[in-house]
Amino acid sequence: MPPKRGKKAAAPAAPAAPPLDGCCVVFSGTFPGHSQSALLDQAARLGAATAKSVTKDATHLVTTQADFDKLSSKVKEALNRDIFLVSLEWLLDSEQSNAKADETQYTFRNVTPSPNPASAPSASQGTAAQKAKDSKKRQASPDADATSADQHDSKKKKGLEKEVIPNFGEGQIAKSRDIVIPLDEECHLVGYGVHVDPDGVIWDASLNQTNSGNNNNKFYRLQVLGSASGNCVTWSRWGRVGERGQMKALGNGSLDDAKRQFQAKFKDKSGLHWEDRTAPPKPKKYVFIERSYQSDDEEEDEGVKTEKDGEGPDCTLALPIQKLMQLIFNTQFFAAAMTELNYDSKKLPLGKLSKATIMKGFQSLKDLSEMINGSVPASASDIEDASNLFYSLIPHDFRRNRPPVIRSEDVLKREIELLENLADMKDASNIMKDESANGEVLHTLDKQYRGLGMQEMTPLDRRSTEFQELAAYLTSTRGHTHGVNYTVDSIFRIERLGENDRFGKSQYAGPVRDRRLLWHGSRATNFGGILSQGLRIAPPEAPVSGYMFGKGIYLADMSSKSANYCCSYISGGTALLLLCEAELGNPLNELTNSDYNAGENAKSKGMWSTWGKGMTAPLGWKDADCVHPSLAGVKMPDVSIQPGKTNVPGAFLQYNEFICYDVAQIRLRYLFQVRM
């Protein structure tokens, strides 16, 4: 659910070193249920530097037996460089235990001869073990061919709570000689392409500047372009965000002069030399925005073909699942959501938005929050400058209106919501672009469904007891203040791949303490990210003051409370709601008012969850095995008893909220597609 407001936060404690600190991880091959972009971000969240090729800083290549057997180019390079070659289980087990797993337990059978006898897997990995130990505290160098930018992750368990920020600016380095950099959308010079120098530096700069006081919201685009005949120019375009602007080609035709023109303009607008583009922005100057150029996955095999490649196959999905995919991956709904949140998707489309930029946006809001709540002394001018920086990093289209200064918690909350939505929509965008490497010909909807990596998605029979019990839970827990009406289109029994295993290996799998079947709502456009990556906790870069009971996963026992976060007006009147099994623990951290530090306070008392107690709630509970045998021991409201007043002394909330601080506490159980 979107963040809540509340009381002032105390300064957070310094985080412990993440489990893969000092490692540099590369991926090769196809991992069912996981895209490489998701895995790159998962590794980064565990503290590793990441790269899309085997560089001098790489310490681990995560691959598959099939990729190892065929000696792919990355495997060969890893063997030659004498680094670890490990299976995906090494990463997952390191995450589960919150400690780096022993690499020697995750190696491969050597069924093909090594390209270099001295680098055979057994010898290679023994040598690499010592190398990894020696470099445990070493970070990848700033100019390493590594990136954490275009990532999105499974973000299970504690990864999101680690103080790890993706490397900014490394998306500016081409990872392949075959990469094609798109020309500026208003450039119509025929036969020209963007220059990439021998070091892989892409000569393409997107700059932004917002100044609320002067009603400025400007962009400046620079590209060095070259033609097949050898003629080179610097293309420039500038204007107000959301408008076409003015444009001009500069230079005398030589590459050297085009670069000089580019560098001079970049220095004039940003105050920085081109080679220092990732340095902190200069006051009153344009801000450099990293764009994502790389494809989100770099599998080396031929990708899956969809029906657009020829005579298309029929869709193999059940009709309700087909309709669900059409809803989740509807690009018109993406555009509407971004417009509603004032994001300028023309300036920086989802496909070009890097995760590093989103993380810098979160950090900018965190800095603003500390100024607004007074934990950092700041003048009105300081707050306006910080607000301008955020708008410069994350382009907004205010038309000709003055950009509003972010000086209140309400406005801050809305911008946090924007970044969280962008992160989830970025995941969905990755799935739509993702190409699995098994050569199959797939219908687009099958391809999208496969990209979610679900273990199960079963449409329920409307006549079944399971459907009827769940529908009754939905309709009977509508708050009297919400005025919500539902028409249930479909209910799906779901299971995310690996979620049961994660729960089973966690501390929450012991004797049942207080497990409940609870609601979670979000925009339909976010469900590509939610289903593929799971429910996630806000990153450390996000301001804690944006969350009423601290950073966690917010759940409800009244369906309409969660439904209010679905924004069904953006998705044609259709909403998606989750029912989650959550182990809350016993006792719970019971509160009647907001507390930004609720998560830390709960943990210090040995509690797993916070219960924000409301004035209206279900008055009776029953065992959810009446829905499905697998839910035995899990509680759900007994809707034969109408929700009513709780008479909790001092209750501030209208309805209950339950907040879990570890994603491993939660398993997604049901997905509702409803019209509202």
Q: Which residues are catalytic?
A: 657
Cβ-count burial 392-428 (b if 16+ within 10 Å, e if not): bbbbbbbeeeebebbbebeebbbbbbbbbbbbbbbbb
Sort residue 23 into left (φ over 0), alpha (ψ -120 to 50) or beta. Answer: beta
Cβ(289)–Cβ(357) under 8 Å? yes
Cβ(636)–Cβ(658) under 8 Å? no
How far is it, in rounded angstroms, from Cα 344 to Cα 324? 27
Q: In degrees rounded to 5, what are phi and psi of residue 333?
A: -70, -35
Longest pairwise C-alpha distance within the chain: 81
User: Which residues make Cβ contacts (< 8 Å) with residue 537, sequence separation at least 6?
Assistant: 155, 160, 161, 551, 552, 553, 661, 663
Cβ(522)–Cβ(576) under 8 Å? yes
How far is it, in rounded angstroms, from Cα 323 to Cα 490? 10
Orientation angle between helical segments 444-452 and 409-433, nearest 10 degrees: 120
DSSP state of 13: P
How far is it, in rounded angstroms, from Cα 246 to Cα 239? 6
Instruction: Using the Cα atoms of residue 464, residue 466, residue 467 and residue 468 in order, give the sign of their dihedral.
Output: positive
The C-alpha angle with vertex 1 and arms to 390 and 417, in degrees rounded to 5, equals 15
Residue 206, beta-bridge partner list? 221, 289
Which residue spans within 297-358 are E strands per DSSP?
Answer: 305-306
Q: Which two tokens stand for residue 358?
A: 């989103």
Q: Which two tokens stand for residue 184?
A: 């500026």
User: Which residues make Cβ contacts (< 8 Å) with residue 615, sequence separation at least 6?
Assistant: 645, 646, 648, 651, 653, 654, 655
How far is it, in rounded angstroms, from Cα 120 to Cα 115? 8
